[in-house]
Chain A
Amino acid sequence: MIVSWNWLKDYVALAVEPAEVEQRLMMAGLNHESTEPVGDDLAIDLEVTSNRPDCLGHLGVAREAAVLFGKPLTIPEPVPSEDATSVSDLLKVRIDCPELCYRYTARVIRGVKIGPSPDWLVSRLRTIGIAPINNVVDITNYVLMECGQPLHAFDLAKLGGPEIIVREADKGEEFLAIDHKTYTLEPGMCVIADSSRAVALGGVMGGADSEVSDSTIDLLIESAEFAPVSIRAAARTLNLHSPSSYRFERGLDPAGVDWASRRCCELILDLAGGELAAGVIDVGRERVKQEPVVLRLAQLKRILGIDVPAAEVQRILTALGNEQVRADADTVEVIPPSWRRDLTREIDLVEEVARIHGYDQIPEDAAVPMCPSHRSDADRVQGQVRQVLTAAGFDESLTVSVVSESWTKAFSPWTDAKPLKSYTPTLKGADRLRLSLIPSLLDIRRTNESVSNPVIELFETAKIYLPSDDELPIEQHTLGIASGGDYSSVKGVIESLVAALNPACQVAVRETKQPLLDNARSCELHVDGELLGFLGEVTPAALKSFKLRLATTVAELSMSALGVIANLIPQHSPQSAFPAMSRDLNLIVDESLRWADLASTVRESGGELLEGVTYQDIYRDNQRDGAGKKRLLFSITLRSSETTLTNEQADEIRDTIVAACGKRHAATLLA
């Protein structure tokens, strides 16, 4: 809302600098955006919150200023002189859609002379950024900006017949607006029509056919109250936003409808001449009466933390236009003014008192009691995940939860269901709630490749959205990793992560088939028999589809599965004081034997002195060992908690292990 400083002073005698008024208004709820000089005037831009449509006119702003500076407010009382002809003999109005148009009033002025507006009017409109058109249109704009009530002047001669019908638009009905564009209307929108066609889109914009022009002689002045929802839908659907629609959307002072009509007619008679037909056509619902509201003074202390003296409370409420109907030592009862439909409850009055009395009166050093707060287990697991991954050289990224349909198809290991779809895309083409973080991470790798970043190691923890038959979908907290390393390096990071959360847990792999991943070099990850996630190297074809040049390995883990295994309060167990012995083993085994199977045999046969089994390497020497064989090199660490082991003991255990491996896997020790 742009306010003219000179105009504002018409209603309240402000003897202070504009800056002080701006400051006080801001601290009472009208946020000051800017002030620009325009000629000898100032254009003061104030932000009006949606609950205060009364401040979408100069009078409303003046009322706030009057209350804040303790000055009287002067509101003009328009009494336009009427001629003998009754308006009801000239015009009829019918509302066919009372849910879209609550009330419609019309006055008729005949014999006006259209011309330019006087300088004072032009200058005021210019200050607030409205271009002058002609005296009649300028007056409707002036009164709109004076009290916030939109008005429309029709050229009476261009209406087809003496009856105005306020009705719902027909489906596909076409309407040529003042901006000379044709709009296709829909049911739910309210039109002002004559017997044959729509002449205005109610509350939004007038029609080109019936607009006031230089040849206009007789006028119909409309002042009406349209339903906010219908106005909003029409303005939004047609992308036709006007100062009128803006105000109707927020709800207007029902008592102001007739005042604005009279004010408009009075100014037209003054500035454009003509004769006003007697009376007003006023159809629609009765004004809804404001209910009284009781304010218990004790509530002020209870909500605000400060006392406000009863006399001050009464002064504030009355000055704001509330009618005080009763007051005693503990309560004030008021009927709020018609223009403040936001005041219906006690708490509304508490806020009124607070903002005028001043929030600066509220102290900022209250003694708020102390209270324990505990960090949740999930939060602590997340903290550990971040610690391990950053220590492993991975950077944390944040990507958008809504992605393109093709990304949801590229990788969806957690569900076969179709992703949820948003009616509105977030970014271009992105309207599916993601089923995996991996495509988003691959996309960031592309961004980083395109600027030649040499090392691109990324992870993200975020939710993925798995459709479900429950009321709400499953939001699975997930860790995604995308690395330039290979399968084993990313697997190592995951093993370190699991070990950090619980050293007793072993990561096991199972086969998986994911179109994004190389079949051999990918797996499902399990811990304690529960699915932890997926890991694999991205296929060249998939790299290409994400426009990636560099080899990439990805992994995706369930954070809740990590939470299940996490041992957040590890317990101490004493360490052996004796040195360890180690033995290197080099076993010739079948090519198909997996390390995990061999290692498990080693652990089982090693006995309680076996402390650890460490994989070293694989060699192949098919000439010596024969085809289909490989050599597995590993070492074992042996330790007792009671004594220093001897070489003979170590050799004995090694021999037991070799024998077990021979029996179970046909492994032979390299001589």
Chain B
Amino acid sequence: MALADFLQQLDELAADAVAAFEAASDAEALEVTRVEFVGAKSGRLKAAQKGMGSVDKADRPVAGKQFNEAKTQVEVALQAAHERLAAGGASSSAKPAEIFDPTLPGKRPRVGHLHPITQTIEELKDIMGRLGFSVADGPEIEDERHNFEALNIPSDHPARDPLENFYIAAAERSHGKPLLLRSQTSTVQIRVMEQTPPPVRIISLGRVYRPDTADATHYPMFHQIEGLLVDQHVTMADLKSVLRLFAASYLGHNVHIRFRPSFFPFTEPSVEADMSWGDDWIEFGGAGMVDPNVLRAVGYDPEEVTGFAFGLGIERLCMRRHGVTDIREFYKNDVRFLHQF
């Protein structure tokens, strides 16, 4: 006998047996059925076992394995029938013991969530990547040259007040040079420009630190993204246009960009950039043309190249986008909060 035929017989036998045992309504009927299928002399199972001898020798291990499975199936069905009748139960066809409930909840695999700040950062990185800006990384612990001097922030500038920054205690270090936790990611721009001749087209992003007391809108640590484009012939019109593409990509519809004059030591002209939001304008971030002193500080010639820079706070953007009203939620890390994003 061919293996396939044998296997089909087995399947039919098992199916018949299960149906018959389930249908047995009393002990007598069950005994008749039992003899029919598992009778020691002429039960159908016994017959099947004999039939195995006519299967090709090479196929016999597979046939044997399948036979054992069918046998187990039949025995389990018989046992179940015994138990059902012993418990005074009726036949399953008359009154099903179990009804499949398709409304039961599925078995959910636990899916982890990325922090909303990470999601925002990744989206901004992605957008700026499409606009040709590569991500540059730099240290969070900085020296004064990169955090201040090269950014045109002189030593008497209020931003350099030790109380406005997180300076690192000198006693813990073997070198005398003052170090501090960076107060802006522009430090990375300086490091990149020091190492790379123009053109430069980067974004830098990450943690920045300022001694603000934590409240609903302030936290001593937050995240910034800053963009820098330095090349020949870069103008404020380019800045406005890139910011428009950036904002439109983020929001998914066209927006307009408005500049209001502002003041930052490292850019001039300096502006606050707003984007249109319905009939209103909302703050997007600070921006401007790279100050000639900054270009000179990194060895660029401000007569040869110009550049623009912009920066924005990621928490603020994320809060507005997702309706988060307290910045401290981001750092509490309640998993119920994390699972909302």
Give me the interface of A with B, judged by CB distance under 8 Å.
Answer: 26-29, 31, 49-52, 228-229, 232, 236, 249, 301-306, 345, 347-348, 350-351, 354-355, 359-360, 362-368, 370-376, 378-379, 386, 389-402, 418-424, 426-427, 433, 444, 447-448, 451, 453, 455-459, 462-463, 465, 467, 469, 471-473, 475, 647
Contacts and interface: CB of A to CB of B under 8 A. Distances in A.
B158 A351 contact: no
B129 interface: yes
Interface in B218-249: 220-221, 229, 233, 235-238, 240-245
Nearest to A417: B172
A302 B111 contact: no
A396 B118 contact: yes
B179 interface: yes
Given A305-B236, A359-B260, A400-B220, A390 B114 contact: yes
Given A379-B135, A472-B139, A303 B118 contact: no
B143 A393 contact: no
A229 B154 CA distance: 12
Given A305-B235, A362-B240, A393 B110 contact: yes
A351 B268 contact: yes
A426 B220 contact: yes
B235 A471 contact: no
Interface stretch (B31-39, B91-99, B326-334): B326-334
A96 to B, nearest CB: 21
A284 to B, nearest CB: 19
A215 B109 CA distance: 84
Interface of B: 61, 109-115, 117-118, 125, 128-135, 137, 139-143, 156, 158, 161-163, 165-169, 171-175, 177, 179, 181, 199, 201, 207, 209, 211, 214, 220-221, 229, 233, 235-238, 240-245, 256-263, 268-272, 289, 291-292, 306, 330-336, 338-339
A304 B291 CA distance: 13
Contact of A427 (B111, B220, B229): B220
B113 A390 contact: yes
Nearest to A28: B261
Given A302-B235, A371-B201, A390-B112, A451 B261 contact: no
B112 A393 contact: yes
A243 to B, nearest CB: 17
A426 B211 contact: yes
Nearest to B138: A475
A351 B270 contact: yes
A420 B112 contact: no
Contacts of B115: 395-398
Contacts of B118: 386, 396, 398
B333 A475 contact: no
Contacts of A345: 292
A359 B336 contact: no
- Select the residue from A26, A371, A375, A393 with max chain B CB neighbours within 10 A: A371
Contact of A475 (B125, B141, B166, B245): B141
Contacts of A232: 158, 161
Given A303-B269, A355-B261, 5 more contacts: A359-B271, A371-B132, A393-B110, A427-B220, A447-B333
B173 A472 contact: no
| The 8 A-B residue pairs with the shortest CB-CB distance in the complex, in nearest-first order | A305-B237, A305-B235, A371-B132, A29-B261, A393-B110, A390-B112, A359-B259, A49-B263
B207 A467 contact: no
B335 A420 contact: no
B169 A422 contact: yes
Contacts of B174: 469
A533 B244 CA distance: 44
Contact of A396 (B245, B332, B338): B338
A424 B221 CA distance: 13
Contact of A397 (B129, B236, B338): B338
A420 B220 contact: no
Contact of B137 (A355, A378, A421, A455): A378
A239 B333 CA distance: 35
A31 B166 CA distance: 29
B169 A351 contact: no
A375 B335 contact: no
B161 A236 contact: yes
Contacts of A31: 260, 262, 272
A465 B141 contact: yes
A398 B330 contact: yes
A485 to B, nearest CB: 11
Among B199, B263, B331, B333, chain A packs the most CB atoms within 10 A around the CB of B333
Contacts of A228: 156
A350 B238 contact: no
Contact of A26 (B181, B238, B260): B260
B114 A426 contact: no
Given A354-B269, A386-B114, A421 B169 contact: yes
Contacts of B171: 421
A475 B140 contact: yes
Given A395-B339, A421-B168, A370 B132 contact: yes
Nearest to A304: B236
Contact of A420 (B168, B233, B240, B268): B168
Given A393-B110, A395-B338, A457-B110, A366 B169 contact: no
B268 A347 contact: yes
B141 A472 contact: yes
Given A359-B259, A472-B141, A364 B237 contact: yes
Contact of A360 (B241, B258, B263, B336): B258
Contact of B134 (A303, A373, A402, A459): A373
A444 to B, nearest CB: 4
Contact of A373 (B129, B244, B272): B129
18 contacts: A27-B261, A49-B262, A52-B263, A305-B236, A345-B292, A351-B261, A365-B241, A376-B135, A393-B109, A398-B330, A400-B221, A401-B221, A420-B168, A423-B169, A424-B163, A426-B166, A426-B220, A467-B173
Nearest to A463: B140
A359 B261 contact: yes
A375 B125 CA distance: 9
Contacts of B114: 386, 390, 396
A228 B131 CA distance: 43
A366 B240 contact: yes
Contacts of A398: 115, 117-118, 330-331, 333
Contacts of A397: 115, 333, 338
A64 to B, nearest CB: 11
Contact of B263 (A51, A420, A459): A51
A379 B334 CA distance: 26
B317 to A, nearest CB: 15
Contact of A391 (B111, B139, B172): B111
Contacts of B110: 393, 455, 457
A472 B143 contact: yes
A283 B216 CA distance: 50
A236 B163 CA distance: 9
A394 B315 CA distance: 22
